[in-house]
Structure 1
Amino acid sequence: MTNKTGFAAIAAREQGLKRQLTSAQMSMIAIGGAIGTGLFMGSSFAIGFAGPGVLISYAIGALIALLLMGCLAEMTVAHPTSGSFGAYAEYYVGPLAGFLVRYAYWAAIVLAVGTEVTAIALYMKYWFPDVAGWIWILLFSAALILSNAISVKAFGHFEYWFSAIKISAILAFILLGAWLVFGGSHPEYGFQHYVEHGGFLPNGLSGVWIAVIIAIFSYLSIEMIAVAAGEAEEPEKAVKQAFRVTMVRLVVFYLLTLTLILAMVPWNQAGQGGQSPFVSVMQQVGIPGATGLINFVILVAALSAMNSQLYTTTRMMFSLSRAGYAPKAMGRLSSAGVPLNALALSCSGVALATLVHLAFPEQSFMLMIALSIFGALFAWMMIFFTHYRFRRYNERNGGGRLAFRMWGFPGLTLLGLALMVAILLTTAFVPAFRMTLVFGVPFLALLALSYRLYFRGNAQAVSAQAQEA
């Protein structure tokens, strides 16, 4: 589609990373990144907003995620590079767009790392209620930073087994829940809970729509498959396979587990006291040791998501550096092909989370979500817009047949874009997410000003060097 002076020049400047991720690892990384705190902890807040109607919220979120993955898969198969949707925005929308998307997304995932470690501190209180949460934050963070620093192969192995544990546990939970709800010998469990305590929509359609914000946060990280494609052994095969299996599994895992949770525990008791609704269910069922086991699985889920997020932020900062948008040191690679300086900077979310947890121990989780979600919503919105420009560019310039095509273009691409704009605007009217735009809009304006004043010249110089290479 493009020549050496086109997108190939952007891809060339990001060379040096090791292509060591297998297709199996890529599939597990994609689903593992999206099954973390959002499902196990965030779902309790979503249930609080929407009641049983949270199933509609997560279905809407799944639709948006499906459309996003379709758009992203098409662009990633055409251009597998670690800069991913930031690089696509740079080429198909403009350099400023590429700068904003990369930095906004990097900041979002850095803060999301903080969300995961904040949740880890909450989970560990189950076993060690008297140990300060910041100790667990620093201990687990050090272990995951080390796994990312060794090599991408080490990261892939860790993430594969983390994800395997999570998936196995969720499948076991689904089987147990189905037996309790449909087995007939437990009348206290059933779909009567759906219409008790205010009915299926206790907070109306507005509650359902607000919970979509949490749903999007829960699905956050499915897009990391596009970032990981830059280090995949066979990127085209890996992305296609990951796309096909990830969405089916996510919809099944999220919607089926929530369906069973709401049938076993009244919605106004699920996640009561800030704990995971999964733990609430196990306490209700009363199986010896089950509550501790599910808490362990939730801990693994948080560690897995944090592991993936550290990987993603590191590669995004690496891409920013190679584009001339960050110090050159961030683009240097170790002998194992790991951008260690970028990894060190991307750990800043851990430090912020520790401070927030110390200052606001009870509100830290939702506060970190509100701060982190702006960049994610902005990045998803820009992925849809970039895909629209990508396809139009391909059509205008007589591009060859795409190896993977998003269906329903342009209607479904524009639908995804409109839904993301609506969700982003909704945060302004929800007290729990008031900080999203309060933080996000000035941050985006500051980024744009920084680009105009400091980075535009650097980016043009890097682009000229790449084209001459």
Structure 2
Amino acid sequence: MKQENASFAEITTREAGLQRHLSRRQMTMIALGGAIGTGLFLGSGFAISFAGPSVLISYAIGAVIALLLIASLAEMTVAHPGGGSFGALAEHYVHPLAGFLVRYAYWAANVLVIGTEVTAIALYMQFWFPDSPGWLWISGFSACLVIANAMSVKVFGTIEYWFSSIKVIAIMVFILLGSYLLISAPATRDIGFHHYVSHGGFFPKGGWGMWLAVVVALFSYLSIEMIAVAAGEAENPEQAITGAFRSALLRLVIFYMLTLALVLAIVPWTRAGQDKSPFVTTMEALQIPGAAGVINFVILIAALSAMNSQLYAATRMMFGLARGGFAPAGLGQLNRQGSPMRALILSCVGIAIATLLSVIYPSNAFMLMMAISMFGAMFTWLMIFVTHYFFRRSRNRAGKERLAFQMWGFPWFTLLGAGLMLALMITTAFTQEFAMTLATGIPFLIVLCIFYFVRYRK
């Protein structure tokens, strides 16, 4: 049964009520806060183990996909700057079912990614307190971030701005310090670009290993799309969104590519452990007193920052579902500070799952949480490309004027992005590490479809 799509004004009106207090700088930092986190500081260790030095190509492919996604989102958000995330765009331009699925998939992905961040936090704290239980740190830090998200969005934006600023400064220092040591290291120190080929070559795991690492690279870049979620709370949406998209992506590509290139030159890829960050391993190898502890503190802040951003995104997505009638109405209520408190509490499910897994599977909790969370995130990116295709076709048919920002090479680049995302989703079915991605994701999607057609299709 075909259902008529709601007008976009209708969708944004029903989701109104959030406060517009986020500046362009804060929106940029929110995107960086989500994307520069565990994916870079801990997940990169898994990517390096899959691909070896060719992980640089893996992250370059991931950056291309992220660039195409950002361009697609920027164009759609410029056309509709007043509010509404990519879930609202999918509902309007594709089908109400598409908006329903995207919102729930993205909410579930963020809820589970929160679990990966908080699991990583427990690992980072064990650097200083090796015998401490992980659940203790998970519970304590989670309580602090839930309180921060319960306050006004202005408070959240300020906290995230400073969290992300610490990360950005630390990465810049790491790049400068690593570059200096790489250039000035004496011959007696085993440091140099020869590490790229001296341990099994540049492709020690072959092309398949390099391609598999793209999945982890995407996990690292995830949350760049969060700017579109925050658009409804931006002070000057159109200017803030386009500027934040460009600066966030540029910084991400520079930070990821340069830092990984330095890590691989300073430490052989075979030593990039998964039990702690390869950045900590690198600083230990440089033998700088106290440096490993400092970098561990920075990546702890990075994980807290990413978790803070993802909790924000999950809360706003559930708020949109409730206001659209696709979740209990109480989840769409705001507290006195203008924050959707009930949606926030529900979005803490990932924290509870992470706490349980850290007790049952302390050594495998992070990888398991990452594999399960990947489906919702990858499905969301795929649907953003699909939505952009329908969006542009709709504007072209209506003969609307060219926007101030427009995606290049339509429809080929849009289809390329969608094709790459679909190929990567299929890839997870042939890997032991990501076997749970489709195994949990597809049944989840089927259940959502059944639920929609039984309850909401009318």
Normalising TM by the smaller chain, what interval?
over 0.9
How many residues end up aligned between the 2 structures? 453
Between the aligned partners of 2:406 and 2:338, the Cα distance in structure 1 is 32
Between the aligned partners of 1:377 and 1:208, the Cα distance in structure 2 is 18
- Using the TM superposition, give the Cα deviation of residue 32 of structure 1 relative to its aligned residue in structure 2, in angstroms: 2.0
RMSD of aligned alpha carbons: 1.2
Q: Partner residue of 1:211?
A: 213
Q: Any idea what SS the aligned residue of 1:268 has?
A: helix
Q: Partner residue of 2:94?
A: 93
Match of 2:233 among 231, 234, 237: 231
Q: Partner residue of 2:34?
A: 33
Q: 1:437 to 1:11 in 2, by over 3 A?
A: same
Between the aligned partners of 1:343 and 1:216, the Cα distance in structure 2 is 26
- CA contact 1:318–1:331 (8 Å) conserved in 2: yes
Structure 1: tracts of 5 or more residues without a match = 458-469
Between the aligned partners of 2:268 and 2:32, the Cα distance in structure 1 is 28
Amino acid across the alignment from 1:165: I
- Using the TM superposition, give the Cα deviation of residue 81 of structure 1 relative to its aligned residue in structure 2, in angstroms: 5.4
Between the aligned partners of 1:29 and 1:60, the Cα distance in structure 2 is 23
Q: Any idea what SS the aligned residue of 2:167 has?
A: helix
Between the aligned partners of 2:60 and 2:82, the Cα distance in structure 1 is 30
Q: Partner residue of 1:393?
A: 394
Between the aligned partners of 1:368 and 1:456, the Cα distance in structure 2 is 32
Q: Partner residue of 1:220?
A: 222
5 Å-filtered alignment, 1:35-74, equals: 35-74=36-75
Q: TM-score, normalised by structure 1?
A: 0.95
Q: Partner residue of 1:316?
A: 317
- Using the TM superposition, give the Cα deviation of residue 274 of structure 1 relative to its aligned residue in structure 2, in angstroms: 1.3
Q: Partner residue of 2:299?
A: 298
Identity of aligned residues (%): 63
Q: Partner residue of 1:369?
A: 370
- CA contact 2:106–2:377 (8 Å) conserved in 1: yes
Q: Show CA shifts across 1:170-212 (max 9, x none).
A: 0000001101112253552101101112110000000000000
Q: 1:273 to 1:41 in 2, by over 3 A?
A: closer
Amino acid across the alignment from 1:284: A
Amino acid across the alignment from 1:258: L
Q: Partner residue of 2:256?
A: 254
- Using the TM superposition, give the Cα deviation of residue 83 of structure 1 relative to its aligned residue in structure 2, in angstroms: 3.7
Q: Partner residue of 2:23?
A: 22
Structure 2: tracts of 5 or more residues without a match = none
Amino acid across the alignment from 1:301: A
- CA contact 1:57–1:208 (8 Å) conserved in 2: yes
- CA contact 2:6–2:91 (8 Å) conserved in 1: no
Q: Show CA shifts across 1:107-160 (max 9, x none).
A: 011000000000000000011112111010010000001010011001100100
Between the aligned partners of 1:191 and 1:313, the Cα distance in structure 2 is 41
Question: Does structure 1 residue 444 correspond to structure 2 residue 445?
Answer: yes
Q: Show CA shifts across 1:82-118 (max 9, x none).
A: 5411110001000001000100110011000000000
Q: Partner residue of 2:203?
A: 201
- CA contact 1:58–1:215 (8 Å) conserved in 2: yes
- CA contact 1:121–1:133 (8 Å) conserved in 2: yes
Amino acid across the alignment from 1:452: F
- CA contact 1:80–1:226 (8 Å) conserved in 2: no
Between the aligned partners of 1:100 and 1:30, the Cα distance in structure 2 is 23
Q: 1:115 to 1:273 in 2, by over 3 A?
A: closer
Q: Partner residue of 1:466?
A: none
Q: Partner residue of 2:283?
A: 282
- CA contact 2:185–2:191 (8 Å) conserved in 1: no
Q: Partner residue of 2:79?
A: 78
- CA contact 2:82–2:237 (8 Å) conserved in 1: no
Between the aligned partners of 2:6 and 2:385, the Cα distance in structure 1 is 25
Amino acid across the alignment from 1:32: G
Q: TM-score, normalised by structure 2?
A: 0.97
- CA contact 1:170–1:253 (8 Å) conserved in 2: yes
- CA contact 2:37–2:299 (8 Å) conserved in 1: yes
Between the aligned partners of 2:37 and 2:400, the Cα distance in structure 1 is 39
Q: Partner residue of 1:111?
A: 112
Amino acid across the alignment from 2:210: V
